[in-house]
Structure 1
Amino acid sequence: MIEHLAEWMPLWMFLTVALVLLLGYPVAFTLAGTALIFAFIGEAAGLFDPAFLAALPNRLFGIMTNETLIAVPLFVFMGVMLERSKVAENLLDTMSALFGSLRGGLGISVTLVGMLLAASTGIVGATVVTMGLLSLPTMLRRGYSPALASGTICAAGTLGQIIPPSIILVLLGDVLSSAYQQAQLDMGIFAPETVSVGDLFTGALIPGLILVGLYLIYLLLVAWLKPASMPAMDAAEVAALRGPGVIRRMSSALLPPLVLIVAVLGSIMGGLATPTEAASVGAMGAILLAISQRQFSLAILRDVARSTTQVTSMVFLILIGASVFSLVFRGYGGDELVAELLTGLPGGVFGAVLVVMLVMFLLGFVLDFIEITFVVVPIVGPILLAMGLDPVWLGVMIAINLQTSFLTPPFGFALFYLRGVAPAEVKTGQIYRGVVPFILIQLLMLGLLAAWPAIATWLPGVVYG
């Protein structure tokens, strides 16, 4: 009886965490607290060996000395500083001047600006809120369907999940590297290879651009089939945007972000810098861009530093809590239980990947990508990679999957971000309806990536040989 109870302890741990989170408790403390309570109960009942927790100091020291994770505060700083620099506002004006005369031109502009912001900041919440404040009132005033306008903004804002430099790709790169090494050791390979953040950045580039292309195709089709839902801008308004000095304004709006993107991604893909070093270049570049836009002061720097510290502290506190949880989970044999469940599924590797993706998609309703990355991926990652899956392909699949969950009603985080800044006349139901076509597009992208893994693996093979 006791052995049977111990066998299912990992499942009870996971269900307890889910229940406590639904009650509204902070994620980091929920993970660590639940794990310690189960460890105490298990030790008292003779079901858990407390020696597993002896590895915790080494885990924490490893987190503190992990150079890859230094990129997290640097990319966060870069994103928050760019948000304060009115980059989005200038880009939106520029794109509106270019595409405003077309039906659906403003929707196209929002999508392209979302892509550029994703490649500049990589922060979903900031992008959705900024785009919602800047473009949603304008789109509504120009006769756009509220549902279509809301869906376009949410979808464009979540591109920061997949287009590098994405925070989730930095975290996934670190977690998948450890999972890949563990999988190789389990297979008897004692000189294991690793997967780097640069590999994931390069692998995510083509899928991200294809996703943007699919968004644009959808918007053009809607503009053609339902022109009343996406009218062109007034000719006088377009003429005003294209007035004297338009070339200079376009250059000043487009060139600095593009130079920053090329400096960060180009240095990584060209082998000139590690992701951490490139992130420092991005952070410094964001400061210079803010100075050039006359949006820099000590007060702004103080606010940006404070926001960066808050986000970084949250990420690392969750990582510490997840480390405690994973140690206790493994102490109860949870990794062996998950391995048995996945390897015993019908369909082999396909069935295992399908179930993991479905579970992550559902968890995305209630958990942020950070918790899923730190809690779920270390458990299932070594198992899936031991089945022979490419780590870059798996990482990109997970990133797109989590991006989809950001949009899915009723708990998608992007929907909450937009609801918080949307005008009162935009109903919640309209926001939900607007994102459905984009969810289907993202699921199509997942299907394309599953059918042709080379979409994610070809470019890293070319760049890194």
Structure 2
Amino acid sequence: MSPELITLLMLGTLIILIVLGYPIAFVLGGVATIFGLVFVGPNVINFFMLKMYGTLSDYVLIAIPLFIFMGAIIEKSGLAMRLYDAMHILMGRLRGGLLIATIITCTIFAAATGVIGASVVTMGLLALPAMMKYKYDIPMATGSICAGGTLGVLIPPSVLILVYGPTAGISVGKLFMAAIVPGLLLASAYVIYVIIRCYMNPELGPALPKSAVKEVTTGRKIYLFATSVLPVSLLILSVLGAIFLGIAAPTEAAGIGAFASLILAAAYRNLTWQNLKEAVYSTMKISSMIFLVLIAAGFFTTIFIRVGGGRVVTDFVTGLPFPSWGILVVMLLIVFLMGMFIDWIGTIMIAVPLFTPIAASLGYDPIWFAMMVIVVMQTGFLTPPFAYAIFYLKGIAPPEVKTGHIYKGVIPFIIIQFAVIILLALFPGLITWLPSLM
């Protein structure tokens, strides 16, 4: 059987089983095992064992459970509530003030947790009821929560970047630095959009009445800043600063962050045995899922390349009658479509080993290409049908918030995402500047 037909059958089987709803890890591992036994032989078991050992012994990937633990402890510490309360007081009197407060809180909280679920769920529980109480537009409210929550996959320390780095053979520390400007650029674009819309149509996000916002003195504002924004900022800077200055690798920095999060939770008097137990359980659960998919996806990629699928895809993409930027658009479009149907880990483990060499052969900077892929994948978290942010928010939203409200709310933010992607493509220095200083 020709490599082209094997590739078509392998990818077709994978897509069909995923669409039918089978778990991604079992689909990837099962398809790889069947096609491996048929077209490679019994030695396929050795490939699986080597991939499993290589994944579990990867020193960089140790940072994954450490950063997840850091995020879980911060989530239990009550930091999100403190941040949102402070932003609520400082910005509530502005048009769209609660929307702005939500996005800023999401940005800070996302940087502290590194995952999307914690940000969307926490802000959905805190911010959505408040915005509905003051008659904010439901699509605008849900869209801002979903968009702000997805920043957790981009703003470092991001678990997605931790997986991407070793897969592409790129320094995780440099990817962390490269993600800072795009992340802040997206957050700023969200805020600017909200301000413009609410000033054009105040009914979308009315300013809160004086009775709803406490009058605060300058001293009180300093206190709010010192007890909410400053601690988490120092935590994030301790992690990223250690990496940027070369004091610690990402794994050691993750350990610093995990320890610092315990200190922060203790300072907030929320480091209880129950919270610690729940954080450890959450860390074990999420880490196990990630590593299971990593092993299965890595095994799938190994077999896919072994049967000639990698060469078939490479020949197909490079053979397209497009200039280099056209091929880049095709690769990013494929990643975007994969993100609509496949788990983000599967998308990385399948697409990155195939597309990174192609991008390098076309002369694109690996770090720049990596960030373009990651921002496109982040857009996938907002885009149906496999939109994590939408499902997370719908799961905890009040009954009057319909799925249609959330779909309508995320559309403008998806457009903003694509606008920023174009901006990053036109000005690569926005991505490569900070890594070049390391």
Give the TM bin, normalised by the shorter chain: over 0.9
The corresponding residue for 1:158 is: 150
Match in the other structure for 1:366: 341
Match of 1:135 in 2: 127
Of the three residues 303, 314, 332, the one matched with 1:328 is 303
Displacement of 1:395 in angstroms is 1.1
Equivalent position of 1:36 in the other structure: 33
Q: Does 1:91 align with 2:91?
A: no
Aligned pairs for 1:447-462 (under 5 A) are 447-461=422-436
Q: Which of the residues 189, 192, 208 maps onto 1:214? A: 189
Indicate the SS of the match to 1:407.
coil
2:404 aligned with 1:411: no
Tell me what 2:235 maps to: 260
1:241, distance to aligned residue in structure 2 (A): 6.3
Mapped partners of 2:47, 2:386: distance in 1: 36
Q: Distance in 2 between matches of 1:96 and 1:289?
A: 22
1:248 has 2:240 as partner: no
Residue 392 of structure 1 is matched in structure 2 by 367
Structure 1 CA distance for aligned equivalents of residues 223 and 192 of structure 2? 30
Among candidates 236, 239, 243, match of residue 211 of structure 2:
236
Counterparts of 2:32 and 2:256, CA distance in 1: 39
**TM-aligned CA deviation for residue 349 of structure 1:** 2.1
Q: Aligned equivalents of 2:331 and 2:241: distance in 1?
A: 33
Please say if 1:9 is aligned against 2:3.
Answer: no
Say which of 71, 88, 101 aligns to 2:93: 101
The structure 2 residue matched to 1:175, chosen from 167, 174, 177, is 167
Pairing 1:74–2:66 present = yes
Q: CA offsets per residue over residues 403-449 of structure 1, 9 Å max, x none?
A: 11111134311001111111111121111111111000000011111
| Matched residue type, 1:167 | V
Name the count of aligned residue pairs: 438
One-letter identity of the residue aligned with 1:322:
A
Alignment partners' CA distance in 1, 2:217 and 2:385: 41
Distance, in Å, in 2 between the alignment partners of 1:300 and 1:275 is 26
Aligned twin of 1:273: 248
1:199 is the counterpart of 2:191 = no
Aligned to 2:354: 379
For residue 218 of structure 1, report the CA deviation from its aligned partner.
0.4
Equivalent in 12, 15, 23 of residue 18 of structure 1: 15
Contact 1:97 1:242 in 2 (8 A): no
1:399 aligned partner, one-letter code = I
TM superposition score normalised by structure 2: 0.96
Cα pair 1:53 1:327 within 8 Å, conserved: no
CA distance in structure 1 between the partners assigned to 2:295 and 2:63 by the alignment: 17
Deviations 1:312-337 (A, max 9, x none): 11111111111221121112101110
Summarize deviations over 1:184-241 as a string: whole Å, max 9, x none.
xxxxxxxxxxx20011111111111111111111011011100111111121222256
Q: Is contact 2:177-2:435 (8 Å) kept? A: yes
Cα distance in 2 between the residues matched to 1:413 and 1:289? 29
The reply to whether residue 315 of structure 1 matches residue 286 of structure 2 is no
* Contact 2:155 2:183 survives alignment (8 Å): yes
CA–CA distance in structure 2, aligned partners of residues 11 and 253 of structure 1: 53
Q: 2:104 aligns with which of 109, 112, 115?
A: 112
* Structure 2 unaligned blocks of 5 or more: none
Structure 1 CA distance, aligned partners of 2:135 and 2:43?
A: 65
Stretches of structure 1 that go unaligned for 5 or more consecutive residues are 43-47, 178-194
Q: TM-score, normalised by structure 1?
A: 0.91
Q: Which amino acid aligns with 1:38?
A: F
SS state of the match for residue 345, structure 1? coil
| Residue type at the aligned position of 1:13 | M
Q: 2:257 aligns with which of 279, 282, 298?
A: 282
The one-letter code sitting in structure 1 at the alignment partner of 2:348 is T
Asked if structure 2 preserves the Cα contact closer than 8 Å seen for 1:79 and 1:120, the reply is yes
Counterparts in 2 of 1:239 and 1:30: CA distance versus 1, 3 Å = same
- Counterpart Cα distance in 2 of 1:380 and 1:8: 20
Q: 2:33 touches 2:44 (CA, 8 Å); kept in 1?
A: no
